[in-house]
Amino acid sequence: MMQVSLPPAGLGATMLNDAQSVDGTALGHGPQLLTADEAHGREGLLVGMAPGAHLQFMDRVTTPGQPPHAASQPADAVQGLPAVNGQASDAVTIQGPGASRSRGTGAQGIITGGLQQLAQHEAASAAANLGLDSNFTAAISAAQEEAHFLTQEAAGLARPGRRRVVQNNVVQTAASKVCAQCNQELQAAHFRLDRTQRDGLRSKCKACAPVKAPQGRKRHAPEPSAQAGHKVCRNCNEEKLTSAFPHKRNSIDKLDYHCKACHIAATAERVSRRGLVEVPAVENKVCSKCEKELPADSFHKDRNKSDGLRGRCRACEALSQTVRRVTRAPVDEPTVTSKVCRRCGEEKAATDFCRKKQRTDGLDSYCKDCNCKATAARTARKAPTVAPTVEHKVCVRCHQDKPAGEFPARPSATDGLYSYCRICRTESANSSRLRVRSRQALQADQGSEVEEAPMDMRDG
């Protein structure tokens, strides 16, 4: 129990609850409000507490007529605090004058007199002048933390579900608790104290707390060592080429932690549990790119999605592909000798993939066998359409919504129409012919220069 001097006369009031003197003489029962003048007239004043009430006062006062921090004869030492419900409690809260209340259950106390306003060094100086021990300074610091919490709570800034308890003085309110790991109901003695919990106990018992997960936190585990140009998959633990891993922008090496084969297996398992969505499950959907709510026919179908539709609308996907084709430099020759197919997950030679200049490695994502199987399955799944099934359609090139009559018929398409309107289809065909002719003319010019080079050398 610490000893504290009271404030000057008239500075504040002292709330007494079941007060008693140092020698145990009862001073009254129930709440009593004493002014500083009245409190200064009682030396060695100690306040007890009632069950569920607040501990109210301390065991040292100054002599009337002396300054509040002047040295005086100490009152008789008091060991410990009175018991609450048969259990000793030593949690103490310091609150300055003007504060409305003290928060918490169990034994807490209020030391009036403006100690809340004292800084840490002032509290230490006052403790030295009064001959107090180091617990006084610790109580002052704890009281300042409690007062800060009360201020935040009053302003609505305190975190819900949390209550501040004075450090090293945890108020235990539960006699037993269920361990979060072994799911056994144990006595409170089997749990360590935790001042951040409502019941003052940790969520795991003492036996389960030291036991850690066998695999630990994989996300924070160090990267397994691998050779240059290789990486170890965290799922299958196999060392593979870096080309066997998908790109991941927020990782250190810009590669995913799991290889493509493991991603494919996980996707297949997820789809098998849920099942393929043949018919879109929604009528409208919000595009993840333009954030517009559009009809379901404005999105490409994707049986692997939960709603059967892709995340971006047709117009946004077409625009993204156009920007990608323009900004990405074409790759004329493959840059790798082998590659992992995204569909079958097998690593095959570069000759087993179709050329695709838009890819970074110059090869398609799917091997030739998987492309042939996918095309055959798609053709078998789509019944030939005689008449268009839609009245309007958005052209993927000009991004305009036009009537179905503006699109050429295509029996193999889902809606029976081409993706390009008639005007855009004609312009695309003309631009393709122009590119082919320009390329042929350029190759012819380069060939003539090569043939004329020896003539120039002979003339020289």
pLDDT in tens, the chain (460 residues): 333 333 343 333 333 333 333 334 444 433 344 444 444 444 333 333 333 333 333 333 333 444 433 333 333 333 333 333 333 333 333 333 333 333 333 323 333 333 333 344 555 555 555 555 555 555 555 556 666 666 665 555 555 444 444 444 555 667 889 998 888 999 988 998 888 888 888 889 988 887 665 555 554 454 556 677 888 998 898 888 888 888 888 888 888 989 988 988 888 887 777 777 777 878 899 999 999 999 988 898 887 787 888 899 999 998 888 887 777 766 677 888 888 888 888 888 988 998 887 777 888 888 999 999 888 887 777 655 567 788 889 998 898 999 988 998 887 787 888 889 999 989 888 888 888 888 778 777 766 554 444 444 333 3
Do the domain assignments include residue 351? Answer: yes
Could you tell me if 369 and 270 lie in one domain?
yes
Distance CA 126, CA 145 (A): 19
Helix (H) or strand (E) holding 310: strand 309-313
Could you tell me if 196 and 82 lie in one domain?
no
**Which positions ≥6 away from 400 have C-beta within 8 Å?**
394, 421
* Cβ–Cβ < 8 Å for 198, 163: yes
Could you tell me if 303 and 433 lie in one domain?
no
For 31, the 3-state DSSP assignment is strand
**Which positions ≥6 away from 340 have C-beta within 8 Å?**
240, 241, 243, 244, 259, 260, 261, 346, 347, 348
Cα 340 off chain centre by: 33
Do the domain assignments include residue 169? Answer: no
Phi, psi at residue 343, to the nearest 5°?
-95, -50
* Cβ–Cβ < 8 Å for 451, 458: no
How far apart, in Å, are the Cα atoms of 161 and each of 158, 164, 196, 199? 9, 10, 10, 11
Could you tell me if 27 and 145 lie in one domain?
yes
Could you tell me if 105 and 239 lie in one domain?
no
Could you tell me if 414 and 358 lie in one domain?
no
Dihedral-angle region of residue 254 (phi above 0 means left; psi in -120 to 50 means alpha; beta otherwise)? left
Per the structure, how many domains does the chain have? Answer: 4
Q: Is 230 exposed, middle or buried (0-12, 13-18, 19+ CB in 10 A)?
A: middle
Could you tell me if 282 and 417 lie in one domain?
no
Q: Which of 334, 363, 380 is the last residue of a domain?
A: 380
Do the domain assignments include residue 217? Answer: no
Could you tell me if 394 and 294 lie in one domain?
no
Do the domain assignments include residue 218? Answer: no
- Answer yes or no: pTM beyond 0.75: no
- Which among 2, 110, 1, 6 has a CA at the least distance from the CA of 54? 110
Do the domain assignments include residue 159? Answer: no
Could you tell me if 243 and 308 lie in one domain?
yes
Do the domain assignments include residue 339? Answer: yes
Whichever domain contains 393, its CATH number is: 3.30.60
Distance CA 293, CA 354 (A): 37
Q: Which domain holds residue 264?
A: 230-380
Could you tell me if 354 and 434 lie in one domain?
no
Could you tell me if 305 and 316 lie in one domain?
yes
Could you tell me if 368 and 387 lie in one domain?
no
Do the domain assignments include residue 239? Answer: yes
Do the domain assignments include residue 283? Answer: yes
